[in-house]
Amino acid sequence: MSARRDIKRILVVGSGPIVIGQACEFDYSGTQAVKALKEEGYEVILLNPNPATVMTTPHLADHIYLDPLKVEYVEQIFQRERPDAILTTMGGQSSLNLALELDQAGLLEQYGVEVIGSSIASIKLAEDRGAFKEVVHSLGLESAHSEIVHSLAEAKKRLASFPYPRIIRPS
């Protein structure tokens, strides 16, 4: 029997096409999530446009869609399958971005689909490096020294007093 009786059908979003640095770990975790949800009695709908994954093995999920991870395709799945919830944390950055896009488009509310796993608020917080840094420090946790800059001039000024090693990356 499922842990939550108000949820019957869950859309699990995979990571999509193979990208350097993300592939098998998301396939493994996604596959395990699908199996666990099925064991708990949920009907599982899978969206993963990569047919070369274990996740997309026939009969692993109740319904499998190989459509792109795009809002318009997910809306079609919402219309056809009527999931109660969506799990986007098993697909890495691609599926987290999709969750934010679905929220921004108003489709989660329109179709009454609950985000499970990480909430939209949590995803937004994790994506905002400045806000995330504030939360980490407010909790008294240690983190690598970092600076957020918005221009080359500001970066050069901060680098003068920033110790090695340095990692500079766009956000």
Summarize pLDDT for 123-141 with one digit per residue, the tens: 999 888 888 888 988 999 9
In this structure, are 116 and 61 located in the same domain?
Answer: yes
**Greater pLDDT, 103 or 23:** 103
**DSSP characters over 81-120:** H--SEEE-TTSHHHHHHHHHHHHHTTHHHHHTPEEESS-H
Of 51, 50, 45, 105, the C-alpha closest to 77 is 45
In a domain, 135, yes or no: no
In a domain, 133, yes or no: no
In this structure, are 34 and 87 located in the same domain?
Answer: yes
Q: What pTM does this model have?
A: 0.83
Q: What's the rounded Cα separation, in Å, for the pair 30 and 24?
A: 10
- Domain span at residue 167? 141-171
pLDDT tens for each residue of 18-62: 766 655 678 888 899 999 999 999 999 999 988 888 888 888 999
In this structure, are 96 and 158 located in the same domain?
Answer: no
Domain count of the fold of the chain: 2
Q: What's the rounded Cα separation, in Å, for the pair 73 and 144?
A: 39
